[in-house]
Structure 1
Amino acid sequence: MTHHAVVRCAWDEEAAVWYVSESDVPGLATEAESLDALRRKLPGMIQDLLEDGQGGDVEVDLIAYAHDRVRVGAT
């Protein structure tokens, strides 16, 4: 059986890390220096957190949010 989870990540500028800000996976909380590093951490953590549930695959939608400001024009 295939399950579905949404993991929302955000950039913390002060700490300079990507972190899980919200998730359908109970207890999922982690951070990493890059979005790719965070993506590599998630499968093992999700397996550990969901191993007592029903078997099958979990399709994970990773939604990342970052905010930047760009100055345009004369200063």
Structure 2
Amino acid sequence: MTLWTLHASYDPEAAVWYTLDCDVPGLVTEGETLERLRDRAAAVMPELLTDNAHLIPETRRDGPHSLRLVAFHESTIPVAA
């Protein structure tokens, strides 16, 4: 099994989760929720892995493939003293 990692971050102004970094060549996407981001990434992964096979080490080209989503969200909220 080949495990790929997508690091995501949240943009509060745009209200979307987006690809911060991913080891799948060319994978850049966003979604209103983490689930939507994950689903969109998983939908385009097979085509990107095929189209960009020349950029991927041979040992990572064969499936099955899995996607690990690592999300980072930071927020500051006022707290009554």
Which residue number corresponds to residue 67 of structure 1? 74
Q: How many percent identity over aligned positions?
A: 36
Contact 2:5 2:22 in 1 (8 A): yes
Tell me, what secondary structure is at the counterpart of 2:44? helix
1:56 aligned to 2:63?
yes
5+ residue gaps in structure 1? Answer: none
TM-score (norm 2): 0.79
Structure with the larger helix share: 2
> 2-side partners of 1:61 and 1:47: how far apart?
15
The amino acid that maps onto 2:28 is: A
5+ residue gaps in structure 2? Answer: 54-60
Over the residues paired in the alignment, what is the CA RMSD in angstroms? 1.4
